[in-house]
Amino acid sequence: GGYVFQKAYLEFFTSRETVEALLQVLKTYELRVNYHIVDVKGENITNAPELQPNAVTWGIFPGREIIQPTVVDPISFMFWKDEAFALWIEQWGKLYEEESPSRMIIQYIHDNYFLVNLVDNEFPLDSCLWQVVEDTFELLNRHPTERETQAP
């Protein structure tokens, strides 16, 4: 017997506009949610310590030390970013003709979108990450002048 614990973790690609709204929303969750947001060029936005990994899963078993199999590591995330963005071009892009609309959309996402990861550090509580996403979409649906002055 033993126990396995996991923090809520969410990773996705999104537009600059969504990142701007997300950052406004994350101010409300600053102490609870760590985030890494990076584009293909390496523009990096984070509230996490620069060199400190964050355990997202770990196990506790009788007579053994804590087993920590999964971490979110800021350095590794920057390497993963290269691989993740390359997949847009190397895998998805090659499925379509060079000048096709589909290939152009994939290239646009590769060139302009951000890779985001969110970690809810309050693992004993229900995850707040879906609320963060919902609040972000709610903010995006407001009039642009409202977005600048209010977060949900």
Write the pLDDT tens digit of every residue in 16-61: 999 999 999 999 998 899 999 999 999 999 999 888 889 899 999 9
DSSP letter for each residue of 23-77: HHHHGGGTTTEEEEEEETT--EEESS-TT--EEEEEEE-TTSPPEEEEEE-HHHH
CA distances from 4 to 34, 58, 94, 123 (A): 21, 6, 40, 11
Of 10, 11, 28, 4, nearest in space to 139 by CA: 28
Q: Write out the two tokens for 50.
A: 């620069």
The pLDDT score that the predictor gives to residue 69 is: 80
What mean pLDDT is predicted for residues 67-95?
A: 92
**What is the residue extent of each domain of the chain?**
8-147
Q: Write out the two tokens for 29.
A: 């969750």
The pLDDT score that the predictor gives to residue 148 is: 61
Over the stretch 82-131, which tens digit does the pLDDT of each residue have? 999 999 999 999 999 999 999 999 999 999 999 999 999 999 899 999 99
Q: What is the pTM of this model?
A: 0.88
User: Is pLDDT of 80 > 90?
Assistant: yes
Task: Share the mean pLDDT of the chain.
Answer: 92
**Other beta carbons within 10 Å of 110:** 20
Q: Write out the two tokens for 103.
A: 């290939």
Which residues, in sequence order, are bridge partners of residue 13?
A: 115
The pLDDT score that the predictor gives to residue 134 is: 98
User: Is pLDDT of 81 > 70?
Assistant: yes
Q: Which residue has the tokens 């971490």?
A: 71
Q: Which residue has the tokens 């290239």?
A: 107
The torsion angles phi and psi of 35, rounded to 5 degrees, stand at -140, 150
Of 18, 36, 40, nearest in space to 89 by CA: 40
